[in-house]
Homo-oligomer: A and B are copies of this chain.
Amino acid sequence: MARKKQYNEEEVIEKATALFWKNGYEATTVRMLEKEMGINQFSIYSSFGNKQGVFLESIKAYKKRIRCITEKLARSNNGKEGIRQYFYDFLEFAKEDGKNKGCLVTNTVNEINADTDPLIMDQLMEFANSIKQLFIDNLLQEEGKTEEEAKRQSNYLMNSLLGLSVSSKVFDQCQLKDTIEITFLNL
């Protein structure tokens, strides 16, 4: 028999997630991961293959962490009101030490360029689409809303959410609140 791992893969990925979230993919170095995860580079590579492998696992962990608010949205049954609440929940979710880190997925979307790995692209789009579907479901709870209209509005809402992920890094809480309130005026 062989030696046992001295770390828990799930635990160290949690810590990696926090790093990627705060700094983005490119700006997070393997040395930083090593330090934060508390394990040697050898262990990182033997457990997750490469830096990208760590990141893909981090996206999974992120999804799991954000599930508490996406599931709340999935359970919601008062139409656009539930989505509005999701926007506020998201701001709270992304806050840390007074600063706002934005959304791990959105941050990564913004890093996308010609040679972004398709595997990562897939993960990002899948995540975005799942949120958009939740928007559609909730919008359809509104009286007399057509499928077509809900779909259009879900694009609009996703755009606002992406914007919020960026805005929240540089604008203050008041401005963000104003933005959210106006966003939901006409749905």
Residues of A at the B interface (CB closer than 8 Å) are 22-24, 26-27, 102, 106-107, 109-113, 124-125, 128, 152-153, 155-156, 158-164, 166-167, 169-171, 175, 178-179, 182-183, 185-186
Contacts and interface: CB of A to CB of B under 8 A. Distances in A.
A187 to B, nearest CB: 8
Given A27-B26, A110-B107, A113-B22, A167 B178 contact: no
A28 to B, nearest CB: 10
Nearest to A175: B155
Contacts of A182: 152-153, 156, 186
Given A27-B111, A110-B111, A185-B186, 5 more contacts: A23-B113, A102-B110, A109-B170, A152-B178, A162-B167
Copies of this chain in the oligomer: 2
Given A155-B171, A156-B179, A178-B152, A24 B163 contact: no
A24 to B, nearest CB: 7
A109 B163 contact: no
A169 B161 CA distance: 15
Contacts of A159: 160, 163-164, 167, 179, 183
Nearest to A106: B166
A156 B174 CA distance: 11
A123 to B, nearest CB: 13
B170 A112 contact: yes
Nearest to A125: B170
Nearest to A99: B114
Contact of A166 (B110, B171, B179, B186): B110
Contacts of A185: 186
Nearest to A183: B156
Contacts of A186: 182-183, 185-186
